[in-house]
Amino acid sequence: MTSAGSVWYRATTPIIPCPAAWRLGAALSSPAPSRTIGGMREHVDAVLVDFDGTLFDTAPDLIAALNRVLVEIGHAPVAFAEFRQRAGAGAKRLLLAALEAQGAERPDDATLRSLIERLIAYYFEIETEQIRPFPAVVSTIERLRDADVALAVCTNRGERSTRRLLVHFDLDRHIEAVLAGDMVARIKPDPGHVREALEALGAEPARAVMVGDSAADVESAQGAGVAAIVTAYGYSPIPPHELGADAVIDDFGELPASIERLFRA
């Protein structure tokens, strides 16, 4: 997710432990380690990853918070399937799109700000309820770190919420750097965001890969001289194969093999 509206992400609620069953389920569904990690490691020292739509499926909680606001102001809730691909747009754009879809007039600026603040507050109340790592994320992140690949989260989401959710799923110990939207001078799609992540890892562009789900991820990566891989399962309203990335993966577990193929081509 790479919205300019990183206003979603200032969580203040306490960390909720992740049920062990989630981790067990992830482990049982994860692919067995492959030999492609070694082949990939010959070419790459660092992997930068987006958060929403790449590592985590955050859309259910975002849409639930949106629907709570809509109902409170007298509108019908939106269908999740119709708004999932808008989950990366940020609070303001998501709310305005929902109102437009129902034929409602755009609120005045003061009312809009109030509604956005309410939406964000509701989201933070529930942001750990339905969020899940996408399949093979946990096992692949672990395999990359075992191979001494440096990892950074490069997201327009704010730092506090990003770190909270990484801790919630016990992934923080594998992430060397977090470059959140409120920590950098320029957010994606500006290449400066990716350049700051590379600097934090001490990595060269030619030996790094950016993994995301949106046009902003591709633009920021390629503008910084970094190969871009996009997920086919993310939130982009544009078909993944039309984003101009160097490769597309259907499952996060395909990442090592995709990187190896990309650099051997």
* Per-residue DSSP letter, 201: H
Contact partners, residue 126, CB within 8 Å, separation at least 6: 61, 64, 65
**Strands 177-179, 150-154: parallel, antiparallel or unpaired by DSSP?**
parallel
- Residues, the chain: 265
Torsion of CA 209, 203, 263, 50, to 10 degrees: -10
For 44, the token pair is 């790459």
- Comparing CA positions, the residue from 199, 164, 159, 209 lying closest to residue 179 is 159
Residue 108: active-site member:
no
Distance in angstroms (rounded) separating the CA atoms of residues 223 and 22:
37
Phi, psi of 149, deg, nearest 5: -85, 130
Which of 45, 50, 109, 213 is an active site residue? Answer: 50
Question: Taking a C-beta distance cutoff of 8 angstroms, is the pair 86, 235 a contact?
Answer: yes
* Dihedral sign for Cα atoms in the order 121, 124, 129, 135: positive
Q: Is the peptide bond before 77 cis (omega within 30 degrees of 0)?
A: no
Residue numbers annotated as active site: 50
